[in-house]
Structures are given as structure tokens and as C-alpha cells.
Amino acid sequence: MRIPIKTMTYLYLINHFVPFPASEYGGVWSVIAQNDNECFDLITNHDDDLNKKHYVSLRQNISDSERFTLAENEKPRIIISFVT
């Protein structure tokens, strides 16, 4: 009998800011993902306004973010974003 491998999911709380004059874009993202790469993909696929030249800082912000292990295996998704 094969025992299914439980994949861990995390709640990421990410602060991300793109400096003026590129925009006044910034804010907080709450994302459920299995790893940093999936978190990055969810945000960049969701936000068409995120300038690609700021992807490096977004990756660093994801890496530096608070993350919490979830007790249940939740579907990866963006919970909420507050951006300006």
C-alpha cells in the first residue's frame, strides 16, 4: 500500500513596494503556496501592473517574508492583496 505524501502549504505575508517614480505601487500580499517559486508565480500571474524590472525585489521580498505552515493542505491561491 502506498502512503500518500502530504505536501506542505504555507501562508506567506509579503510586503512589496515599487518606488516612485515607477509607480506608487506597493502593499501587502497574503498568499497560500507550497514554496517561494509558486508564490512568485501566483503574484505575477495575478498582477498585470507589476513591472518586470521589480521581479528581483519581489523574489527577495517573498524570501524574506513571514510564512506560516498550514495544518490543512490548502489550494494554492492569493488570499488578499492590498496594493496602491
Please name the residues in contact with 40: beta carbons below 8 A apart, sequence gap of 6 or more. 55, 58, 59, 62
Is position 21 within any domain?
A: yes
pLDDT at 3: 64
Number of domains observed in the structure of the chain: 1
Structural domain harbouring 79: 10-83
Ranges under pLDDT 70 in the chain: 1-6, 18-26, 48-51, 84
pLDDT at 54: 76
pLDDT at 24: 62
Is position 2 within any domain?
A: no
pLDDT at 76: 95
Sequence length of the chain is 84
Is position 27 within any domain?
A: yes
pLDDT at 38: 97
Q: How far apart are CA 64 and CA 81, in angstroms?
A: 17
